[in-house]
Amino acid sequence: MEKKQVHIIFHIDFNAFFCSVAEIYNPALRNTAFAIGRENSTYGVISTASYAARKYGINSGMPLAVAYKKLKTLNVVSLPYQYYLDYHYKFINLLKEYSNLIEVGSIDEAYIDVTELAQKRHPLVIAKEIQTRLLKEYHLPCSIGIATTLYLAKMASDLEKPLGLTVLRNKDVKDKLFGLPVKDIFGIGRKTYPKLEELGIKTIGDFLATKNQNSVLKVISAEYYEEIKANFKGQSRNTILPLHEEDNLSISTMSTYDRRLIGEEEILFELSVLTKDIYKKLLAKNYYTKTISITLRNTEFKTISRSRTLTDYTNSYQVIFEVVTDLLQANYHNETLRLLGVGFSNLIKGELVKEEEYNLFTALNRQDKETVIENVMENIKDKYGEKALYYAKNKTLFN
């Protein structure tokens, strides 16, 4: 029997990337308490905070008004987004010197397969060189996780920050990860882990323990539970989808409403309509997406855009709308809205996506099941109206 190849995957995650770039353009910010957000305003939220600011309990996603209460002298700065993109491209170009198997997670993180290079050089030497070069050449501190799968590499990079360098072997997963808080499971939403904690699921070990399975399934779906278990067993994706032109493409739609939208139920329904609209375009073009985003604009014309990048590419409506719902729940605060938008980016052609990327479930089986669901839904809508049925959040679905 042919031995399965062991891949060596790095997950490179910048430490406070936006703050690091701001310090490059304004060195006076170094070692000071500052945050990235809307200048000269108490409206909006913080994108990220410097490590000095974090000591005061100031973190990403925090409303500016709350941050100023924690530190009245907090310095809030903003830069054109292109500045961040410039350093993102420098980062990617540096990685290309080590491998052509690079997968972008977001503007401040990427996966790289160094399996071939590691036959000539030790992986730790490669990782340390990349980390040192990014710091010396571009003043960008990063943490690197090394593992056999993308998921475990991601978990490893979070273990030590800033400037961490962590190897996570499959046999060490229990010792290094099981004692961590359940909120540290990559993919567990901010609204999900408190529900788990209320049921006594405090750690990753508690989450994965067979005796607690029934409790966990009160909060997330059985399918997602099995997927997470597979991730921690090292049975998730270990092949990187290299950069393609489609990574820079996107599909999006926006709608301005004559009536004012208020309430999560109504807004969620309108988002489902927009999602379905561009989902059809995704299928028609045979694209899979990895990054899903929403845009919300209130009656005072304050606009926010939020996105989430998945570990795997997907063309599953249910998975996509789960993310849309999560993003709404995390960022909607009972305002009256006048504009909504949904977008897909990080696109790749369907023929480049392999079935094994779905961990425990093949793409065919998954697509078959969803096709049946979609057909049933469409039949009900045809008979009873468009608002009769749509995907919605409930306690059995995952965040």
Catalytic sites, residue numbers: 109
Rounded Cα gap, residues 74 and 68, in angstroms: 6
Rounded Cα gap, residues 123 and 128, in angstroms: 9
C-alpha distances in angstroms, 40 versus 72, 187, 332, 340? 13, 34, 23, 26
C-alpha closest to that of 110 among 74, 134, 76, 132: 134
Six-digit token string for 226: 């099995």
Residue 54 contacts residue 66 (beta carbons within 8 Å) = no
Rounded Cα gap, residues 47 and 76, in angstroms: 10
Q: What are the helix and strand counts (H, E) for the chain?
A: 14, 13
300 backbone dihedrals φ, ψ, rounded to 5° = -95, 10
Angle at CA 262, nearest 5°, toward 260 and 265?
125
DSSP 388: G
